[in-house]
Amino acid sequence: MGKIRFGPAGYPAAAKSSPQKAFEILSEAGLTAFEFAAVRGLRTKEEVAKEIGALAAKFDISMSLHGAYFINLASKDPDIRQRSKQRLIKALTYAPWMNVKRIVFHPGTYGGLSNDDAHSVIRDALIEVWDEAGKKAGGAFLSPEIAGKINSFGSVDQIIRLCSEVEGAIPTIDWAHLYARSQGEINNKSTYLSILNKFEDALGSRFLDNMHFHVSGIIYTKAGEASHRPLGAEWGPDLLPLMEIVSEVGYRPTFISETPEPIRGALYTKFLLEELESSKK
């Protein structure tokens, strides 16, 4: 395991899309992770991608990349399925340039299929993507994420099953999405631990050595996720029990903040852990 890392999703607003400025801001704030947001498609030029990778190495920033929101591997439209696979292939190709170690993405909807049929279609698509681009990825993984919408493919069991059957896949646990998807149930020490144990039992060291968490406050409805909110306010989930587990067990995750002000969220998460660690002394 590496060290525990904290960082934002997306460029800091003050960076104004300048990679150099972005990494300077992260370094000055004491943050050591960054999730590049390609949620509207990966449009970065090769030279800029390589600049980002060099800066990440210089500042010791662990990089991940969030793929396009419109990836939908089980869509009813074969063209959408094919374009979704190509977006993941492109992201894996960019990974070594950008020093990225995981491609985070949502597999999509069920496309009118049953749970098992959707799983088979998505699994086969990811195997195809990995067979084509996995060796070009410079050690990067595909990282399907827990979905916040109940009608989207991406429950705990579905993500575990995908990662068990696709060689290059490791999970991203989005705790806010899981809180919304569970209608507020995953929100205390015992429920957090039950989820972590489930992933660890199924995936072993692949999970433990590559733990990647998204954190945020969230508003949810009966359909699941509605909108992200700041941490430490009136919105759940409560992160303190999760941080207590991380501190007590010795897990070494990367925490990516997806709050409306992601650097503030990352610093809040870091502060919680630092307070717990200092109380042990």
Token pair listed for 229: 């909110």
Burial class (CB in 10 A: 0-12, 13-18, 19+), 38: buried
Across the beta sheet with 62-66, what order do the strands follow?
33-37, 62-66, 100-105, 141-144
State pTM to two decimals: 0.97
In the block, residue with structure tokens 């969030």: 66
Angle between helices 78-98 and 46-59 (to 10 degrees): 50
Domain ranges of the chain: 5-279
Tokens at 45, concatenated? 């030029």
Low-confidence ranges of the chain (pLDDT < 50): none
What pLDDT does residue 119 have? Answer: 98
The fold for domain 5-279 equals: TIM Barrel (3.20.20)
- Residue 27: is it exposed, middle or buried by C-beta count within 10 angstroms (0-12/13-18/19+)? middle
Query: Which DSSP state fits 57?
Result: H
Is residue 129 within 8 A of residue 90, CB to CB? The reply is no
Q: Nearest-CA neighbor of 4 among 195, 270, 189? A: 270
pLDDT value, residue 280: 77
**What pLDDT score was predicted for residue 1?**
54
Query: What pLDDT is stored for residue 279 in this prediction?
Result: 85
pLDDT in tens, 185-223: 999 999 999 999 999 999 999 999 999 999 999 999 999
